[in-house]
Every structure is written in C-alpha cells, then in structure tokens.
Amino acid sequence: MRIFINKNNKGLTLIEILVSVVVGSIMMIAIYFSFSVFSGSYLAIVEKMNVNKSLRNSMAMILKDLRAAGYVDINTSLEKNISNFIVATDGGSTSPDSINIIYDLDRTQRIQVTYKLNKNPDNLTNQLTKTIKVCTDSNCTQPGGPSSVPETKIADLVEDLQFYFYKENGSSLPSNSDPKLIKYVEVNLVIRSANEILKIPLSKISRPFNTANPSTNRDLYYRDILAASVWPRNIYK
C-alpha cells in the first residue's frame, strides 16, 4: 500500500501565532475602550436629560400654582377675601426658601399648596416636596380637610430653591410683604445629577442666587439651573 503525503501542507509558525495573538489583543482592547467611551457618553446624556426634565417639570408645577395664587371663585361658599395667599419663608444666604400658595379650585374647594426642600435619608441631599391642604376656613389656618394630599416628593437631588418678589416698578420686596404688592415672582431652582459624570472637577456655584454667601462645589456632578418669572394673575393691583 502506498501512502501519498502532500508536502505543500504547511502550519503556522510560532511567530505568526504570536503576531495573530497581539493583533487580536489590540483589537479587543480597542473595542473595549470604544464601548467604555460610548457607554459613558450615553450615561452622561441620560443623566443630563433626567436633570433637565426634573427641572422643567418642577418649575412648571410651581409656576402653575403661583399664577393661580389668590384666585377666588365668584360663587365660592367661603370668605372672598384671602389675606395671605402667598407666604414665603426666606431661608437666608445658607438655606433654601419655602412657599405657601392659596387659591380656589372651584366654588366649594380652597387649597393651600406648599413647596419646600426636605433632607433625604442620607442627610446630604434634598428633595423638593409638595403638600396640598384642603382649607376648612377662608385663610387655611385650621387643620386641612379629608381630601388633603400629604407631602409628596416631586424632585430629588435639589440643591436650592429661591423665591424673589418684585413690585410694579421692579423694586424688590421682602418675603413677608403684603401679597397684594407683588407684581411678579422670580423662581430659581438648582438640581444635580445622581452620579458624577463630568470628566474634570469644575468649580461651580450651587447657590448662585445667594450673592451674600454663595456655595461652590468642586466635584464631578452635573448641575443645571433654571430661573423663571411669573405674574400672579389674580392679585388685585
């Protein structure tokens, strides 16, 4: 029996194998780093979108209630005079503000809406909360009715909330002024991302509205600031 051997069959040399391993390793490393970069960029975009969405939704809610401040239904069963339909608590240069807003939903329901910041369980970050109290008297001084909505979180990781009040001529008013003197209200809100997504630390003012004692942070969190003005349309001038 004759056995024919094809002498043209050649295997890979050790050098060729090593070159293949090196090239393959380089390709895998490149793919890994590309994935890491694109994944990090995607997560950063999502974080920024979440911050911006939270800012817009929270601000829209606050402005809607401020526009309705002092509204009295023409057929209301309650007293038609609301003395303190906007009451703000000034947190000063180191703490956020809070606000109470009173208006009629309809002829039978008058509500007091409260916005304020509360500490999260970690005692490091804040959440913006909203409380709806159904008034049982004209100025909402008594305990709320059974339809009241308890304190509810509407935004997380809120670093500052400030309210500024102005007269018709543009001059500022203290937070404890007569609400009927208010021409417009400026609302400022600061929210940061849940994770550190910036590439390099940035010195950023987290309370830019407290010019007396602004607070700065040098970290990798993304922060966005939204400011808006609103005219309470139901305030008698």
Encoding tokens for residue 73?
């239904």
Q: Where are the beta strands (DSSP E) in 135-207?
A: 149-156, 158-166, 172-173, 184-196, 202-205
| Residue 156 and residue 125 in contact, taking contact as beta carbons nearer than 8 Å | yes
Strands 126-134, 98-104: pairing is unpaired
Domain extent listing, the chain: 44-230
The contacts of residue 208 (CB under 8 Å, 6+ apart) are: 188, 190, 214, 225
pLDDT of amino acid 213: 46
Sheet with 184-196, strands from edge to edge, namely: 172-173, 158-166, 184-196, 221-230
Helices (H), the chain: 14-68
The share of the chain scoring above pLDDT 70, in percent, equals 84
**Through-space distance between the first and last CA atoms of the chain, rounded to whole angstroms:** 117
CA 202 to chain centre: 20
Q: What is the pLDDT of residues 35-69, one digit of tens each?
A: 676 676 788 889 999 999 999 999 999 999 999 99
Q: What is the pLDDT of residues 84-140, one digit of tens each?
A: 899 999 887 678 889 999 999 988 899 999 999 999 988 888 999 999 999 988 889
Among the listed residues 72, 75, 96, 97, the one whose alpha carbon sits nearest the alpha carbon of residue 85: 72
pLDDT of amino acid 237: 46
Distance of alpha carbon 115 from alpha carbon 100, whole angstroms: 7
Among the listed residues 65, 217, 208, 37, the one whose alpha carbon sits nearest the alpha carbon of residue 128: 65
Radius of gyration, alpha carbons of the chain: 30
Q: Which residues pair with 131 in a beta bridge?
A: 114
Q: How many CB atoms lie within 10 A of CB 186?
A: 15
**Average pLDDT of the residues of the chain:** 84
